[in-house]
Amino acid sequence: MWDTYLITPMTNVLLFVYDNIGHNFGVAIILFTILIRAITWPLTGQQLKSTQKMQELQSDKDWQAIQKKYKDDKEKLASEQMRVYKERGINPFGSCLPTIIQFPIIIGLYRSIITALAATPLALLDLSRNLYSFLDVAAIIPLNSHFLWFDLGRPESVDIMGFAFPTLAIVVVITSYIQSKLMTPPPTSGDQSAAMGNMMAIYMPFLMGYFAMTFASGLALYFITSNLLGIAQYAMMGRANWSNLIPGKK
Amino acid sequence: MKTKKIFVLTAAVLIFTLLSGCSAAAMNSNSWPGLSATDETVYLANGGFVYAIQVKNGSVIWQYPAEKADSKEAYYADPILTEDNQLILASAGSNHSLISVSPENGRLNWTFGDAEDTWVASPLAVDGVIYAPNSDGKLYALDLNGSFLWAKHISDSALWAQPENDGEYLYITSLDHHLYGFSKEAKETIWDIDLNGAIPGKATLDENGALYIGSLDSTMTAIDAETQAILWATPLEGWVWDTAIIQDGALYVGDLEGYFYGFDAEDGAQLWAPILSDGPVTGTPLVTDEHILIGTETGTIYAFDKEGGIDWQQRINGKLYTNPVEGGELTFFALMENESNIALIALDVDGKQVWSFTPEK
């Protein structure tokens, strides 16, 4: 089921794009990422709304009163917060959803990249049985896996004085951090969802960076493109919280 | 707060595990076993280990490495014997090793590790030179001591098949859709032909100087090696993965749609209507005195007569991708992904299983 509904469609879309844009797999991944971003646009919209509601809630007097009243009773505070969320139709995980939804996409894309590049006999055999009939894959195999200075099917690094410097992974960490911070509402004391957002803003970039460093660099290209598109989207919608990027500023 | 932390960390661990699982699967099992045999010994390259097994009873003579597998080595190419009695093993692991061991006891003779990519193809050892095509698109030449002689760039794509040899030229197939004619004396490519599809299998040369090549373009093509003229080309139902085999003027090949074909090598006329087996055929058919044998991915071994009739078929629990081989009076099939972890079976002429080999865990 996983293969049928996720990996195979993704692989075929990637190959279709590759076949129609001059046989450049890096460009195919970038265009594919734009497509994913377009498909998940409603989710991003939901995320922004959720973030906005959370921000409004921070300045709400009832909310602040609850924080104050139950500051020494964490369990009661949590249950009261949940009551308020429910009453006002706020999903406290709404801001996390687009990040969570990325997980199957990340796994699917990684598998699709490996499948499409078919660098080993078993991978090529696997590819042969996962193709839609509209694709003339025999004509485009083997795919050109080189993009800029790296091989999309392998982890990327640049040799600097004998040290393998993971440039893409570092760019992934930076862009993931910027995107997370731009989306995070300003925290108020005792607010668990904002603290959760802040925690995600710290952990997720390093996690993504580790993935980018360890796995095929096509995945890193997806992360970077997706992050840049996210940043551009928030900026265009006027929702980017730029002040969050300045250390110490609340 | 604690619950949420656990949630995030669990999600992170889950994705990492899934990605690592994909990656490890890709690294650990990137091909299928390699097989070769003499009348006394069958050699099985089965990933982390290569086994020398007695033909008569299936007992292990030696394994390489003797103790623990090296995670950077993955032996899948068919082991080959040289004229001076070395067994050459090619690794598809990250060490990119081409090694020589003694066929008698599995002791290491030498290792060559300077290629830029993995070895999927078996090398060709002829006239004191080991010609080894690599996934980096180069053809490497070593002497029989494993010393590097030269390397020539053949293609920008991977070379996955052993070269064919006529004494003067090597015929090298590539995933870049081309067949290359390589002069051994000049050490350079003299000509090449585009066959419109990747060619993972080896070219077959007959005594009349005709080359037969199947490709992922689902076409079987015959080419005059001297003039490079296309003698005939015929469309097949599916991708041709491995090498066609020729005997007594007949050419036999299977495809990934599961069809098995017999052609008149001279003009490409079909000897019978394509026979549909129960699964993809990746291995080269084995021609014995009695039969033409193929194995399918679905796990069935078919024994055909020379007219395309099925003499017998045998269902095996496992996937059959590897070229079957013959040794002594037995035929051998390497297995993948079977519940009992059996890696190799030996059959007699009637398809009766004589023994099986299961590697120790």
Is it the case that residue B10 has pLDDT exceeding 70?
no
Predicted confidence at residue B297, as pLDDT, reads 96
Facing B157 at nearest CB: one of A110, A142, A196: A142
**Predicted confidence band of residue B26 (pLDDT cuts 50, 70, 90):** very low
Backbone angles phi, psi at B106, to 5 degrees: 75, 10
Is it the case that residue B24 has pLDDT exceeding 50?
no
Q: Which residues of A touch B (CB under 8 A)?
A: 74, 100, 103, 106-107, 110-111, 114, 119-125, 128-129, 138-139, 141-142, 192, 195-196, 199-200, 203, 207, 210-211, 214-215
> What radius of gyration, in Å, describes the C-alpha atoms of chain A?
21
How confident is the model over B291-312, as a mean pLDDT?
96
What's the rounded Cα separation, in Å, for the pair B2 and B278? 54
Residue with tokens 């990137």: B30
Contacts of B76 in chain A (CB under 8 A): 121
**Predicted confidence band of residue B7 (pLDDT cuts 50, 70, 90):** low
pLDDT tens string A81-114: 888 888 887 777 666 666 677 778 878 888 888 8
Q: Among candidates A60, A67, A51, which has minimal Cα distance to A192?
A: A67
Backbone angles phi, psi at B119, to 5 degrees: -105, 110
DSSP-based three-state secondary structure for A146: strand
Contact B22 A114 (CB under 8 A): yes
Q: What is the DSSP letter of A3?
A: I
CA distances from A186 to A93, A196, A199, B42, B178 (A): 16, 12, 13, 70, 60
What's the rounded Cα separation, in Å, for the pair A117 and B158? 12
Is it the case that residue B41 has pLDDT exceeding 90?
yes
Facing B19 at nearest CB: one of A120, A122, A211: A211
Question: Is the predicted ipTM greater than 0.90, yes or no?
Answer: no
How confident is the model over A135-151, as a mean pLDDT?
87
Region of residue A236 (left: phi > 0; alpha: psi -120 to 50; beta: else): alpha
Is it the case that residue B355 has pLDDT exceeding 80?
yes
What's the rounded Cα separation, in Å, for the pair B124 and A177? 53
Higher-scoring residue by pLDDT: A173, B4: A173
Is it the case that residue B4 has pLDDT exceeding 70?
no
Contact B282 A103 (CB under 8 A): no
Is the separation of the CB atoms in B23 and B308 below 8 Å? no
Predicted confidence at residue B339, as pLDDT, reads 81
Q: Among candidates B201, B205, B183, which has minimal Cα distance to B192?
A: B183
Predicted confidence at residue B25, as pLDDT, reads 45
**Predicted confidence band of residue B273 (pLDDT cuts 50, 70, 90):** very high
Nearest C-alpha of chain A: how many angstroms from B307? 29
pLDDT tens string A204-224: 888 889 988 988 899 899 899
Is it the case that residue B51 has pLDDT exceeding 90?
yes
- Looking at chain A, which residue has its C-alpha nearest residue B195? A139
pLDDT tens string A23-41: 899 999 999 999 888 888 7
Contacts of A113 in chain B (CB under 8 A): none
Two tokens, residue B67: 């103790």
Q: What percent of chain B has pLDDT over 70?
A: 92
Give the range among B16-20, B153-157, B178-182, B217-221 with minimum mean pLDDT. B16-20
Contacts of A203 in chain B (CB under 8 A): 8, 12
Q: Among candidates B143, B201, B198, which has minimal Cα distance to B171?
A: B201
Is it the case that residue B27 has pLDDT exceeding 50?
no
Q: What is the dihedral of CA A228, A233, A236, A239, to 10 degrees?
A: -110
DSSP-based three-state secondary structure for A143: coil
Burial class of B193 by CB neighbour count within 10 A (0 to 12, 13 to 18, 19+): middle
Question: Which of A11, A91, A124, A198 should one mutate to test binding to chain B, selecting the residue with the greatest count of B CBs within 10 A?
Answer: A124
**Is the domain B35-286 a CATH 1.10.10.10 member?**
no
Contacts of B92 in chain A (CB under 8 A): 120
Is it the case that residue B19 has pLDDT exceeding 70?
no
Contact B8 A200 (CB under 8 A): yes
Predicted confidence at residue A159, as pLDDT, reads 85
- Looking at chain A, which residue has its C-alpha nearest residue B9? A203
Facing B239 at nearest CB: one of A138, A196, A214: A138
Facing B1 at nearest CB: one of A123, A192, A211: A192
Facing B31 at nearest CB: one of A122, A138, A214: A122
Map chain B to HEC letters: CHHHHHHHHHHHHHHHHHHHHHHHHHHHCCCCCEEEECCCEEEEECECCEEEEECCCCCEEEEECCCCCCCCCCECCCCEECCCCCEEEEECCCCCCEEEECCCCCCEEEEECCCCCCCCCCCEEECCEEEEECCCCEEEEEECCCCEEEEEECCCCCCCCCCEECCCEEEEECCCCEEEEEECCCCEEEEEEECCCCCCCCCEECCCCEEEEECCCCEEEEEECCCCCEEEEEECCCCCCCCCEEECCEEEEECCCCEEEEEECCCCCECCCCEECCCCCCCCCEECCCCEEEECCCCEEEEECCCCCEEEEEECCCECCCCCEEECCEEEEECECCCCCCCEEEECCCCCEEEEECCCC
Two tokens, residue B28: 């650990």
What's the rounded Cα separation, in Å, for the pair B352 and B231? 40
How confident is the model over B278-303, as a mean pLDDT?
96
Contacts of A128 in chain B (CB under 8 A): 216, 239, 256, 280
Contacts of A114 in chain B (CB under 8 A): 22, 26
Predicted confidence at residue B9, as pLDDT, reads 62
Contacts of B175 in chain A (CB under 8 A): 141-142
Contacts of B29 in chain A (CB under 8 A): 122
Is it the case that residue A199 has pLDDT exceeding 60?
yes
Question: Which of A141, A203, A222 should one mutate to test binding to chain B, selecting the residue with the greatest count of B CBs within 10 A?
Answer: A141
Higher-scoring residue by pLDDT: B220, A112: B220
What's the rounded Cα separation, in Å, for the pair A80 and A70? 9
* For chain B, domain boundaries: 1-30, 35-286
Facing B198 at nearest CB: one of A120, A141, A203: A141
CA distances from A207 to A30, A106, A158 (A): 21, 12, 20
How confident is the model over B252-276, as a mean pLDDT?
97
Predicted confidence at residue B192, as pLDDT, reads 97
- Looking at chain B, which residue has its C-alpha nearest residue A75? B1
Task: Dihedral sign for Cα A180, A181, A182, A183, please.
Answer: positive
Contact B198 A192 (CB under 8 A): no
pLDDT tens string B131-145: 999 999 999 999 999
Give the range among A35-39, B2-6, B173-177, B294-298 with minimum mean pLDDT. B2-6
Nearest C-alpha of chain B: how many angstroms from A108? 9
Q: Among candidates B276, B353, B348, which has minimal Cα distance to B317?
A: B353
Two tokens, residue A2: 């996983």
